[in-house]
Structure 1
Amino acid sequence: MSTNTTDLCLLSARDLAAAVRSRTVSAREVLDAHFARIDAVNPAVNAVVTQVREEAYAAAARADERTAVTPADELPPLHGVPMTHKDTHATAGIRTTLGSPVFAEHVPDHDDLIVARFRAAGVISTGKNNVPEFAAGSHSFNELFGTTHNPYDRTRSAGGSSGGAAAAIASRIQPLGDGSDMGGSLRNPAAFCNITGFRPSAGVVPSTPAGNAWAWLGRSGPLARSVDDLALAMSVLAGPDPRIPLACPADRAGFRALAAEAPADPDARPLAGVRIGLSTDFGLGVPVEPGIVEVLRDQARVFEELGAVVEEAVPDLRDADEVFDTTRAFDMAGNLRTVVAEHRELVKPEIVWNVEKGLALTAEQLMDAALARTRLHEAVRAFFDRWDVLLTPTSQVLPFPSEERWPRTVAGMPMQTYVEWMRSASLISATGCPAVSVPGGFTGGGLPVGLQLVAAHGRDVELLRTARAYDRATRHAEIAPRI
């Protein structure tokens, strides 16, 4: 293998780690390529906002020393793979701003669990990537670092809140990223940037430390350029943590077995027997831009060619908006009420609105939401008794102009709030089900489109297996942006 920096930056996480373990390339050479790529493309996309080069090279040197004395099969799965982390995830010794002036110089003394597990798996931390303030909204801009731009069209949004990670991965800065998702923050940026993003079932990747250990709506998960790399990432991220009392319904062993599976015969029908329900409007008349609907219907035929049965079907999601809106407001107020009370003038108005909405919730509204969540659970359970997967658009809109705070209309329909345009993701969040966004190709104008696949709670491995079959058959993410 050549150690040309461009070649190294094109590799998957799996292949990059294998090259380091086999001593084909050193961790320091990989880091050289990583930082050279940041220097080359980050001024255009503004994905990476903090770098720790000295610390990263020290970690790479330690990795190379370990490589020299350790058999390859005893090295960790992501040995020597560089990664910037989401700027809302705490990183010990690395500035973590949450995209807010309130925390502009904040340096944590601990790692969040998702960062700690990636580091334990061999990842070399190199800095932080951009987010919207406090991860609120699906467009990555803030007063500290400005706006992250879409690598495929730098006049457009990269999505959010994991937009910096998605743009970095699409730009070939790094092959993997850590993200989080309450109303689409893993899935929307993946769709906007032509990569994959996975929101696991509750408890699979615990979010620690946590102010509310019983919170269920927000999730942590990975982003990558392929479902193969998502499976590899989940093989090191999944598993319970005693600080979070949620059961883990999909353990690390299942993801490890999935990541180790050999590619299927190209002539095989790997989705034979898989039953897929297709919906473009979630059964609720949710507006979706026509270009996205066109791509979705065209790509549905690929699933059929792979052996799946695809028919129009969708769970009854009438209660999902109430469940999501109330739970989000409750969680936002619980997490940020003190920040808003003490630093209101420094916090963006969308957060103030969401926190005030949470503080105004009545006991009756909370009881109604709990009952609605039970009805929704029963409706989704009945759907997945018949269907294995739900296939929908990931996002209702194509990447929108980056100077906009959020889309004011979708397919001609006015949007009233900064979260309403994300219903294609938030409706699924309310169900609690695992969901993955995979690249579905491009519109005639060259903008990426994501497809959202959803499965029953705890069926995370099976969901990724279905998504991987499609991803391997299409390889849309291999179409790199020109930066």
Structure 2
Amino acid sequence: DGAGSVRIPAAWCGVAGLKTTAGRLPSADRTGLAVPGVLARSAADAASWWQVVAGEPEPALPSLPVTAVWSPDLGFAGPDPEPVALGRAAVERLVAAGVVRLVRPRVPVRLMDPGPAWLALRTPGADPAGAHRVRAENDRRLAALFAGAELLLTPTAPTAPHGHEGPGGRYSTSLTWAFNLSGHPALSLPAGFGGDGCPAGLQLAAPHGREGLLLALAREAEARSGD
């Protein structure tokens, strides 16, 4: 902003950010919730990082358009209207560019809120039984969704960016930590700017082990948009 302070999560909504599949790369986190990833200027740069750290070849472009399901809230997040509108507009640009094709899920996307489970797993001495039940149920619902579509699209954050004072009573990570809990790979792409001038993001989540799909698709989206 004008005072030179950092808005969070504006920093990672304005770049290409990749979260890898849980367990694919080494992590010192005992809970398995934090995994290696990268923030890069572009999807092409993120793909180069992935080639180096994973030792995989350049991600191959899949047959286009890729089937995708759009969810503004994953069934629990209660996002603000502006990030939803910006995310949806970014989805429509992907559709117009021939990169994705929206499909209707067999059942509505309604995950259990991962927040309490995430916090329980992060708290030493907490009983993890409830967290494991939430994880298992969300894994079941995501498996059913990915049986009918290759991608799940959501806003990256449900709220406008906040300062270092924190998000208040609502977590700006609520749409991203769903995939920290499930271990699915996810990638955030810039989705435009809100009324405050801060960037918003569009999150793409894929089945386990499909980082190559996310990166190839994001790189093609950038190429077709001229970004």
Is residue 2:95 matched to residue 1:298? no
**Which stretches in structure 1 are left out of the alignment for 5+ residues?**
1-149, 161-187, 239-251, 265-269, 330-357, 409-414, 477-483
Give the aligned residue type for 2:166.
Answer: W
CA distance in 2, matches of 1:232, 1:280: 30
Q: Deviations over 1:371-430 (max 9, x none)?
A: 332222111111100111111111122222x3x51122xxxxxx16xxx33212122222
Q: In 1, are the aligned partners of 2:68 and 2:152 still within 8 Å (CA)? A: yes
Residue 118 of structure 2: SS of its match in structure 1? helix
**Which stretches in structure 2 are left out of the alignment for 5+ residues?**
none
For normalisation by structure 2, the TM-score amounts to: 0.86
Select the residue among 69, 75, 79 that pairs with 1:283. 75
Q: In 1, are the aligned partners of 2:15 and 2:190 still within 8 Å (CA)? A: yes
Is residue 2:107 matched to residue 1:316? no
CA distance in 1, matches of 2:72, 2:147: 21
CA distance in 2, matches of 1:380, 1:315: 8
By how many angstroms is 1:325 displaced? 2.3
Q: Deviations over 1:207-233 (max 9, x none)?
A: 2xx373xx3211111111110110100
Q: In 2, are the aligned partners of 1:437 and 1:453 still within 8 Å (CA)? A: yes
Runs of at least 4 residues of structure 1 off by over 6 A? none
Q: In 2, are the aligned partners of 1:271 and 1:303 still within 8 Å (CA)? A: no
CA distance in 1, matches of 2:104, 2:199: 24
Map 1:36-435 onto structure 2 (within 5 A). 154-159=3-8, 189-191=11-13, 194-207=14-27, 210=28, 212=30, 215-238=31-54, 252-253=55-56, 256-258=57-59, 272-284=64-76, 286-307=77-98, 308-311=100-103, 313=105, 315-318=109-112, 320-329=114-123, 358-359=124-125, 361=126, 365-400=127-162, 402=163, 404-408=164-168, 415=169, 420-435=171-186
If asked which structure has higher relative contact order (CA below 8 Å, sep 6+), I would say 2
Q: In 1, are the aligned partners of 2:103 and 2:149 still within 8 Å (CA)? A: no
- Check 1:291–1:316 CA distance in 2 against 1; reply closer, same or farther (3 A cut): closer
Q: In 1, are the aligned partners of 2:74 and 2:154 still within 8 Å (CA)? A: yes
Is residue 2:204 matched to residue 1:453? yes
Residue 197 of structure 2: SS of its match in structure 1? coil
- Check 1:158–1:444 CA distance in 2 against 1; reply closer, same or farther (3 A cut): closer
CA distance in 2, matches of 1:271, 1:289: 34
Q: In 1, are the aligned partners of 2:69 and 2:102 still within 8 Å (CA)? A: yes
Give the aligned residue type for 2:141.
Answer: A
Name whichever structure is richer in helix by fraction. 1
Q: In 1, are the aligned partners of 2:29 and 2:35 still within 8 Å (CA)? A: no
- Check 1:474–1:154 CA distance in 2 against 1; reply closer, same or farther (3 A cut): farther
- Check 1:474–1:216 CA distance in 2 against 1; reply closer, same or farther (3 A cut): same
CA distance in 2, matches of 1:156, 1:311: 40
Q: In 2, are the aligned partners of 1:391 and 1:452 still within 8 Å (CA)? A: yes
Q: In 2, are the aligned partners of 1:322 and 1:372 still within 8 Å (CA)? A: no
By how many angstroms is 1:301 displaced? 1.2
Q: In 2, are the aligned partners of 1:394 and 1:424 still within 8 Å (CA)? A: yes
Residue 386 of structure 1: SS of its match in structure 2? coil
Identical-pair percentage: 27
The total of aligned residue pairs comes to: 224
